[in-house]
Amino acid sequence: MAWFRSLIRVSGIKPRNRAPNPFSLASLASLSTEATNKYSGLGPTVPAEKPRVVVVGSGWAACRLMKALDTNLYDVVCVSPRNHMVFTPLLASTCVGTLEFRSVAEPISRIQPAISREPGSYFFLANCTGIDGDNHSVHCETATDGPDTLDPWKFKIAYDKLVIALGAQPLTFGIQGVKEHAIFLREVYHAQEIRRKLLLNLMLSDVPGISEEEKSRLLHCVVVGGGPTGVEFSGELSDFITKDVRQTHAHVKDYIRVTLIEANEILSSFDDRLRHYATKQLTKSGVRLVRGIVKDVKAQKLVLNDGTEVPYGLLVWSTGVGPSPLVNSMELPKSPGGRIGVDEWLHVPSMQDVFAIGDCSGFLESTGKPTLPALAQVAERQGKYLSHLLNRIGKAGGGHANGANGMELGDPFVYKHLGSMATIGRYKALVDLRQSKEAKGLSMAGFVSWFIWRSAYLTRVLSWRNRFYVAINWLTTFVFGRDISRI
């Protein structure tokens, strides 16, 4: 079997014999003391084999890249702790049952079928723990979670080209208690947790013996962060309350409230007019907008900078994103926000054959270009650009490690902003088509832009299966209301 042919034991190589590795992590240092016979991997490709592109991550950037990579030229190996891509713009809708979880999750093997079929292409359910640029290899550890936790094992994968697309992680600004008590909204399991908690609170608040105060607390949904995610989630939530809770939980409908806390202005990247429209609409639909800075988060209440205590039953945290731990640990030139510096071709200048795309990367200041925003739109465009670049390199015979040295890379990556969109509840959305915050351009609000928003997202969901499911979900929500079974 091809799998066994390419499986080369590297357990004999002890860390002390390796060339110095600027990216080694503390966890790797202790490797040699652990069961070394568990340390295997995929060895370097030989010239007769297809070159191997290793993609670390499974978000917008990684998946867009894998989708368009020519698998006649390359073997593709993807390393990620989740086997699907999350269609993030629709994630907020799944929390309240407007859409189903599966409709926004796209398995990687559906995005790039070669990964599950070609003998040299793989998906590995693992975390990347370090990158060894000198030896052209990445270090990985299998990822299992929850009730299925197994002893992880480590392995290495040699790459010809490496694409770092590790994304970003939610920022907590060092505020105590956020990780313990708040729920983020980045992954499907976050949305599942929010939904389970919301339905639990609705049911518990109806049980005899509960005090008025506790009832109000359980049904107080607090959203921290007034960016598009926070606003979209608040809008969906107020829709759910107005349309569904009044019918499915009529006993407690007068107790449920939504508060959106933001330190500055909501939707700060949007046009002034749109921002005012959003504020008006959210207020009208019952969302209380509070200007404040969170100082401390406890199990059932949070404390603002001015000392105000806010009891909550559900706390959703979406105050922006920062670099992931692995990106943080890498000793590379980075942007002020901690994003990996790349050149005009999305290549990491100090490392051979390594590229970085999506939220984890940013244009180096040395190139004179500003860091691009951490948006799905940017990541998607970068993934697409890099797939074309790698295909071109592959066709020119430069696919193998160090094979593209001195090669002409062609046109650099140029980002053209197509506009920003955010929904603010039922049949209402904002569409800002300006190129940047300062520019002039078209901005729209209301039903027309809601329709544009829905259509735009529907055609962007990658597979036909999920396009179909999203349409079916919207139809059934419209006809039958949202599903409230807590499974």
Binding site for its own copies (CB under 8 A): 3, 7, 38-42, 82-84, 100-102, 105-107, 109, 113, 116-117, 119, 122-126, 142, 144, 146-148, 150, 153-155, 157, 188-189, 192-193, 196-197, 199-200, 203-204, 206-210, 247-251, 463-465, 468-469, 472, 476, 479-480, 483-487
Pairing of strands 257-262, 220-224: parallel
The runs of H, that is alpha helices, within 330-463 are: 376-395, 447-460
Output the smallest distance, CB 322 to its own copies, in A: 24
Q: Are 114 and 121 in contact (CB under 8 A)?
A: yes
Q: Which is nearer to its own copies, 102 or 426 (CB)?
A: 102
Separation between Cα atoms, residue 147 and residue 393, nearest integer Å = 44
Nearer to its own copies, 249 or 454 (CB): 249
Burial class (CB in 10 A: 0-12, 13-18, 19+), 418: exposed
Half-sphere exposure of 25 (CA within 13 A, CB side): 17
Unique residue bearing structure tokens 């731990």: 325
Any bridge partners for residue 296, and if so which? 303
CB closer to its own copies, 84 vs 381: 84
If the CB atoms of residues 59 and 341 are measured against its own copies, the closer one turns out to be 59
Name the packing angle between helices 272-284 and 228-240 (round to 10°).
30
Which is nearest to 94 in space by CA: 3, 177, 195, 24? 195
User: Could you give the CA distance from residue 18 to residue 269 in angstroms, rounded to a whole number?
Assistant: 47
Least Å distance, CB 212 to its own copies, is 9
Instruction: For residue 128, list its beta bridge partners.
Output: 140
Q: How far is the CB of 440 from its own copies (least distance, A)?
A: 42
If the CB atoms of residues 171 and 199 are measured against its own copies, the closer one turns out to be 199
Cβ proximity to its own copies: between 451 and 468 the closer is 468
Q: Which two tokens stand for residue 450?
A: 């809601």
Q: Nearer Cβ to its own copies, position 105 or 278?
A: 105
Q: What is the closest distance, in whole angstroms, from the C-beta atom of residue 122 to its own copies in the complex?
A: 6
Q: Which is nearer to its own copies, 335 or 473 (CB)?
A: 473
What's the closest the beta carbon of residue 302 comes to its own copies, in angstroms?
Answer: 18
CB of 368 to its own copies, least distance (A): 41
Cβ at position 39, least distance to its own copies in Å: 7
Question: Is residue 53 a contact partner of residue 161, using CB atoms and an 8 Å limit?
Answer: yes
Token look-up 């993934």 returns: 383
Angle at 294 between CA 293 and CA 296, to 5 degrees: 150
Other beta carbons less than 10 A from residue 268's beta carbon: 12
Residue closer to its own copies (CB basis): 212 or 438: 212
- DSSP states of 25-72 as a string? -HHHHTGGGS-GGG-EEE-PPPTTSPPEEEEE--SHHHHHHHHHS-TT
Buried b (16+ CB within 10 A) or exposed e, 55-80: bbbbbbbbbbbbbbbbbebbbbbbbb
Cβ 485 to its own copies, closest distance in Å? 4
Report the nearest approach of its own copies to the CB of residue 477 (Å): 10
In whole angstroms, the minimum distance from the beta carbon of 28 to its own copies comes to: 15
CB of 91 to its own copies, least distance (A): 11
Between 138 and 258, whose beta carbon lies closer to its own copies?
138
Q: List Cα–Cα distances, 173 to 64, 197, 234, in angstroms.
A: 31, 24, 22
Chain centroid offset of residue 321 CA: 10
400 touches 51 (CB < 8 A): yes
Q: 59 or 323, CB closer to its own copies?
A: 59
Q: What is the rounded CA–CA span in Å between residue 279 and residue 386?
A: 39
